[in-house]
């Protein structure tokens, strides 16, 4: 078997890369270890930057996004029993859109298959050679080798690509908390997202549609999900979102529950020879601020551009600049995600002094146009260069 670009991983990064390369006349094969149903229903991200929606639209996979995506112009910070709006669009001229990662994945899989693309599910990559480029994968009980010109490692944090970069330098931070996320069949209690800080911990009210709410609670990293009955989850959410003016949280049947650890992680460089890392394979952000999926998208835009230049003119300049170009944006998002996580979560080890500083920081962001503008500029997303 042979292709121009072997793509390991059929998450948003791998699928979008394959689509972008196809539009430039470049062949790829996507190898995904899980089955299609699993990949299309794994609950994860929900908030898209305008740069992400623009690319989906401009490359012809934005039709359902335009119909079903919910465009937002602001968000709420809630603490001390009161809400404070950050008017994202007024401050930045940009919007953000709620459209679940599951839906982007469905749209991209459907489009690749309709375009005759080669996307293989239940095909697990077990080895790769970044110098005489090839990947070895298991599928249907057989082990096969795919020869290629380049390998895109889009296989997420636990994949095989990053360990294949020798002398990789990693930068990491673990947080003393995790997120318990739920999906519930109930109309959202808010039009805009609410990021809440409460003495008992952080809570986030997001949504998936006018009928489906998505909510998150800060819990401890070793939390046992079995201890969280539906009633306990709703009680805790109501406590953390409570305001002095009697705002009400709508409750409804919970259809999904999971716990996600929080970490910051960057690998440098994002390249070894003919292997390029993109998305969660190269970096992780804590979810506060919704940057993970958006970073995966910006990485593959840069990679698709570089590979197009290479095939069109033979020039390697953009490929050589890939890692540095992505890392500049990655580190900005790393800082913002760390900052927003620290601003909003309760660190169980924080001293009273640190808690007072955090409260002062929240008051400042809520009351200063300059501070809100900085939050808004990062949240809505900096331009993809
Ligand atoms: P992945 O989605 O992890 O895809 C990698 C794929 O590679 C997987 O399908 C995996 O099965 C496959 N794979 C792994 N190993 C192999 C192998 N050996 N062979 C073949 N295939 C392999 N981001 C945002 O931008 N906004 C948000 O609102 C947001 N909210 C989030 C909320 C939660 C609860 C979580 C967990 C994450 C959130 N994120 C958010 C982050 C976002 O989901 C990820 O950054 C995104 O999935 C990264 O895409 P990816 O394609 O790089 O990796
Ligand atoms: C969602 C997740 C986030 O991490 C975030 O900051 C905003 C929204 C979500 O899943 O909807």
Percent of the chain predicted with pLDDT > 90: 97
Per-residue model confidence (pLDDT) at position 384: 80
Ligand 1 and 101: CB distance under 6 A? yes
Q: Which of 99, 150, 175, 195 is catalytic?
A: 195
Mean pLDDT of 109-122: 98
Q: What is the pLDDT of residues 302-324, one digit of tens each?
A: 999 999 999 999 999 999 999 99
Query: Which of 102, 208, 293 best tests ligand 1's pocket when mutated (most atoms within 8 Å of CB)?
Result: 293
Question: Distance from the CA of 293 to the center of ligand 1, in angstroms?
Answer: 7
Ligand 1 and 303: CB distance under 6 A? no
CB-neighbour burial class of residue 373 (10 A; exposed 0-12, middle 13-18, buried 19+): middle
Ligand 1 and 36: CB distance under 6 A? no
Give the C-alpha distances (Å, rounded to integers) separating 375 from 7, 114, 362: 34, 40, 12
Per-residue model confidence (pLDDT) at position 276: 98
Q: What is the pLDDT of residues 161-214, one digit of tens each?
A: 999 999 999 999 999 999 999 999 999 999 999 999 999 999 999 999 999 999
**Per-residue pLDDT at 246 exceeds 90:** no
Band of pLDDT at residue 128, cut at 50, 70 and 90: very high
Ligand 1 and 294: CB distance under 6 A? yes
Question: Distance from the CA of 246 to the center of ligand 2, in angstroms?
Answer: 25
* H or E segment to which residue 91 belongs: helix 88-92
Residues flanking ligand 2, CB < 6 Å: 45-47, 193, 206, 214, 287-290
Q: What is the pLDDT of residues 353-371, one digit of tens each?
A: 999 999 999 999 999 999 9
**Per-residue pLDDT at 49 exceeds 90:** yes
**Per-residue pLDDT at 385 exceeds 80:** no
- Ligand 2 atom with minimal separation from the 45 CA: 10
Q: Which of 86, 104, 99 is nearest to 19 (CA)?
A: 104
Ligand 1 and 162: CB distance under 6 A? no
Q: Which of 286, 287, 322, 372 is catalytic?
A: 287
Band of pLDDT at residue 280, cut at 50, 70 and 90: very high
Q: Are residues 269 and 193 in contact, defined by beta-carbon separation less than 8 angstroms? A: no
Total residues found in the chain within this entry:
385
Ligand 1 and 124: CB distance under 6 A? yes
- Ligand 2 atom with minimal separation from the 98 CA: 11
Catalytic site includes residue 248 = no
Q: How far apart are CA 2 and CA 10, in angstroms?
A: 18
* CATH architecture entry for 2-69+99-172+263-344: 3-Layer(bba) Sandwich (3.50)
Q: Which of 195, 224, 192, 222 is nearest to 207 (CA)?
A: 192
List where CATH 3.50.50.60 sits in the chain. 2-69+99-172+263-344
Question: Distance from the CA of 371 to the center of ligand 2, in angstroms?
Answer: 21
CB-neighbour burial class of residue 312 (10 A; exposed 0-12, middle 13-18, buried 19+): exposed
Catalytic site includes residue 287 = yes
Q: What is the pLDDT of residues 135-145, one digit of tens each?
A: 999 999 999 99
Q: Which of 291, 322, 345, 372 is catalytic?
A: 291
Q: How far apart are CA 269 and CA 162, in angstroms?
A: 10
- Ligand 1 atom with minimal separation from the 281 CA: 52
Catalytic site includes residue 379 = yes
Per-residue model confidence (pLDDT) at position 95: 97
List where CATH 3.30.9.10 sits in the chain. 175-261+348-380
CATH number of 175-261+348-380: 3.30.9.10
Per-residue model confidence (pLDDT) at position 294: 97
């Amino acid at each position: 078997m042979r292709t121009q670009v072997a793509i390991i991983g059929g998450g948003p990064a791998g699928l979008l890369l394959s689509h972008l390369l196809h539009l430039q006349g470049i062949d790829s094969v996507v190898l995904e270890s899980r089955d299609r149903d699993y990949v299309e229903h794994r609950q994860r991200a929900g908030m898209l930057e305008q740069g992400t929606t623009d690319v989906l639209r401009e490359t012809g996979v934005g039709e359902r996004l335009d119909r079903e995506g919910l465009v937002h112009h602001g968000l709420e910070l809630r603490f001390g029993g009161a809400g404070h709006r950050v008017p994202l669009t007024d401050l930045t001229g940009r919007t953000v859109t709620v459209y679940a990662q599951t839906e982007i994945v469905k749209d991209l899989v459907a489009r690749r298959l309709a375009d005759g693309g080669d996307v293989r599910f239940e095909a697990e990559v077990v080895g790769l050679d970044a110098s005489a480029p090839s990947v070895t994968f298991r599928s249907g009980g057989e082990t096969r080798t795919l020869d290629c010109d380049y390998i895109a490692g889009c296989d997420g944090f636990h994949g095989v690509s990053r360990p294949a970069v020798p002398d990789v330098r990693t930068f990491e931070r673990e947080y003393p908390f995790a997120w318990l996320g739920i999906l519930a069949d109930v109309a959202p209690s808010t039009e805009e997202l609410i990021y809440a800080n409460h003495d008992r911990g952080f809570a986030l009210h997001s949504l998936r549609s006018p009928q489906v709410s998505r909510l998150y609670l800060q819990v401890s990293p070793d939390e046992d999900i079995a201890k969280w009955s539906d009633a306990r989850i709703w009680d805790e959410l109501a406590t953390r979102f409570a305001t002095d003016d009697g705002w009400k949280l709508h409750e409804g049947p919970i259809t999904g529950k999971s716990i996600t650890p929080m970490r910051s992680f960057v690998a440098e460089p994002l390249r070894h020879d003919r292997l390029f890392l993109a998305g969660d394979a190269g970096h992780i952000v804590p979810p506060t601020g919704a940057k993970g999926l958006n970073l995966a998208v910006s990485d593959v835009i840069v990679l698709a551009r570089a590979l197009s230049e290479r095939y069109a003119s033979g020039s390697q300049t953009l490929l050589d600049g890939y890692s540095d170009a992505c890392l500049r944006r990655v580190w900005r998002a790393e800082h913002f995600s760390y900052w927003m996580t620290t601003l909003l979560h309760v660190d169980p080890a924080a001293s009273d002094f640190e808690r007072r500083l955090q409260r002062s920081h929240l008051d400042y962001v809520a009351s200063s146009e300059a501070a809100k503008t900085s939050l808004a500029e990062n949240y809505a997303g900096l331009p993809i260069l």
